Amino acid sequence: MVDDLDRKVAQFLADSEDAFSGAYLVRINGMLRLRGAAGLANREFKVPNQPSTRFRIGSVTKQFTAATILLLAEEQSLALDDSIARFIPETNRAWRDITIRMLLCHRSGIPNYTSLESFPKEFSKIDRTPAEVIALVGKLELDFTPGTTARYSNSGYSALGCVIEAVCSQPYAEALKARLFEPLGMTNTGYDDGFSLIPSLASGYFFDGQEWTRAPHIAMSLPFAAGGLYSTVDDLAVWQDALHGGALLRDESRHAMFADHGDGLGFGMMVNKADPQVRFHWGGISGFLAGASRVIGANWTADVIVLSNNGNGDSKLKSDPIYISKGLLALALGKPFDAPGVMPF
């Protein structure tokens, strides 16, 4: 049965336009069902991807930022309804009605810096400190009155990173290492500053259906608490356990993280309360795509983690983490890879 499942997975990935390049892991009810890799971690030197390969995870980082904020709230170092001006006093007057809670669920109104017209060719190429990014975004008008609606904002999570640094009196990377990675034994997860040598870190590429190219440069100081982490499928499986049922967070904090605070947005998490329910986040950062999902069926629970160093999310190429996640989960459940309703996206 295992050999047959492996054969079906190999065929499924081969049919994905030969464009899936990454690693994957699927567990059903806590039991490992699939763990593997495909493609090349480095195409110049023809180094293959392995399940142990490290990948940038983009916006999956937001789960870690949100969990750290909740831990600080449990310690009473901050309150979720505190104004961010308490921790970032140089913010403009319009930001003083913005609370930490609003930042967590994208209801702050702070413009998203990755949506700026200048981002792809100019803004993304220049290294800036988090404080400098906040200062630049702070000059823009809010998209809406804080708390009145929801709009995804990487800028808001950069602000949360500044809050963490202010409260912990240490850099964001060190705060997460001390509070999350070391206690959980996540030895293959960390912050990618764009300069440090990170063993076994894949290179990022794009595939347009015909040829591969290197991903364009992005200044890694920009993603920060919104998207600056790297990890492996195994470490993210550890994270799923800690986040959903371990001793990391109190029940009240966990409930707040997974609640729908509007438009399917939790704290650093997206929630889809269809059948089956899904708690997830996707990530994308110059040459990398990532997906980490907890899928909750009527009598089963699955963790599906897909990390890719092909940054092209075009669904026609059948290589994006959403497509791969749905197909691998279906196969792990003993269904055809294109079985409908396995993941309600």
138 contacts 95 by C-beta, under 8 angstroms: yes
User: What are the DSSP calls for 69-107, one per residue?
Assistant: HHHHHHTTS--TTSBGGGT-TTS-GGGGG-BHHHHHTT-
Tell me the one-letter amino acid at 318: K
Q: Is pTM, for the whole model, over 0.85? A: yes
Tell me the one-letter amino acid at 160: L
Backbone angles phi, psi at 124, to 5 degrees: -70, -15
Tell me the one-letter amino acid at 344: P
Q: How far is 322 from 329, CA to CA, in rounded Å?
A: 11
Q: Which two tokens stand for residue 174?
A: 């060190």
3-state secondary structure 211-232: CEEECCCCCCCCCHHHHCEEEC
Q: What is the DSSP letter of 127?
A: -
Q: How far is 343 from 90, CA to CA, in rounded Å?
A: 43
- Assign 209 a pLDDT band (cuts: 50, 70, 90): confident
Q: How long a stretch of residues is the chain?
A: 345
Q: What is the pLDDT of residue 155?
A: 95
- Assign 114 a pLDDT band (cuts: 50, 70, 90): confident
> Could you give the residue ranges of the DSSP H alpha helices within 142-298?
154-168, 172-176, 182-184, 224-227, 233-245, 251-258
Q: 2-332: which CATH topology?
A: Beta-lactamase (3.40.710)
Asked if pLDDT for residue 116 goes beyond 60, the answer is: yes
Dihedral sign (CA 123, 128, 130, 133): negative
Q: What is the pLDDT of residues 224-282, one digit of tens each?
A: 999 999 999 999 999 999 999 878 999 999 999 999 999 999 999 999 988 999 999 99
17 CB-near residues (< 8 Å, 6+ apart): 209, 317, 318, 319
Q: What is the pLDDT of residues 41-81, one digit of tens each?
A: 999 999 999 999 999 999 999 999 999 999 999 999 999 99
